[in-house]
Amino acid sequence: MNPHVSTSWSVIRILVPVMGMAVGGMAGESATAPAMVADAPAFTLPALPYAQDALAPYISARTMGFHYAKHHQAYVDNLNKLIAGTPWAAGPSLETVVLESAGKPDHAAVFNNAAQAWNHAFFWKCMKPAGGGRPAGRMLNLIEKSFGGFDEFKTAFLATAVAQFGSGWVWLVQDGHTLKLVKTANADTPLAHGQTPLLTCDVWEHAYYLDYQNRRQEFVQAFLDHLANWEFAAAQLR
Ligand SMILES: [Fe+2]
């Protein structure tokens, strides 16, 4: 399992300590928890790595207000309700919940909410203010080897994003010794398919409709040109 992501979630899973503390507060608030509280939620909304208006004008503060504070929060809240009283509420990482519920029809709701909680936490880290541009070093070498060049990679990333019918995600993944582009529908995630996610862009309409209406390709182009966090993606390489 990716150690970077696992470490982040281990912090997130430290339970909020007192009644009334806002779920989704800064990571430091959760880290000060003095003791376990019986009724505390198993999972809490991770803090964004930047302010909600930091990605404007490419993603507006209004979009982030809905996407992060409403949609992502809802996945976390729904997951907590679904796993209450089960072993999943008492210790495993979010990745474990995703992997153990994947492909099991009787746990589809748990998988959908756990995977969406994981996908969104990963997606926020895949962006940064003044991001985009070209990666460097090993990441650039692997992209050139796998796709024939960085421009070819960008063209393929856009095409994959546009080709996803309905809600879903476009991912750059590491699969063995090569990099691949994959698209997943709804909550599905490369984690459940043995692939290592490196970079993702959310292509659910809630990710872009307020800013771009139906122009998904324009949103994904802005992601590649101005937001992609290649340092984070490179840190996921095995
Ligand atoms: Fe989303």
Whether 128 is covered by a domain: the verdict is: no
At 12-50, the pLDDT tens digits run: 333 333 232 333 333 323 333 333 445 688 999 999 999
Residue 38 CA, ligand 1 centroid: distance in Å: 30
Whether 39 is covered by a domain: the verdict is: no
Residue 220 CA, ligand 1 centroid: distance in Å: 13
Residue 204 CA, ligand 1 centroid: distance in Å: 6
Residue 36 CA, ligand 1 centroid: distance in Å: 30
Residue 39 CA, ligand 1 centroid: distance in Å: 28
Residue 85 CA, ligand 1 centroid: distance in Å: 27
Residue 147 CA, ligand 1 centroid: distance in Å: 27
pLDDT given at position 177: 86
Domain that holds residue 179: 137-235
Mean pLDDT, range 89-111, rounded to an integer:
96
Q: If you average pLDDT over every residue of the chain, what do you get? A: 87
Least confident of 4-18, 73-87, 135-149, 166-180: 4-18
Whether 164 is covered by a domain: the verdict is: yes
The enclosing domain of 198 has a CATH number of: 3.55.40.20
Least confident of 31-45, 171-185, 197-211, 212-226: 31-45
Whether 167 is covered by a domain: the verdict is: yes
- Written as six digits, the tokens of 229 are 């966090």
Whether 111 is covered by a domain: the verdict is: no
Whether 183 is covered by a domain: the verdict is: yes
Whether 21 is covered by a domain: the verdict is: no
Residue 31 CA, ligand 1 centroid: distance in Å: 26
| Number of domains the chain is built from | 1
Residue 135 CA, ligand 1 centroid: distance in Å: 24
Whether 122 is covered by a domain: the verdict is: no
> Which phi and psi (to 5°) does residue 2 adopt?
-60, 120
Residue 211 CA, ligand 1 centroid: distance in Å: 14
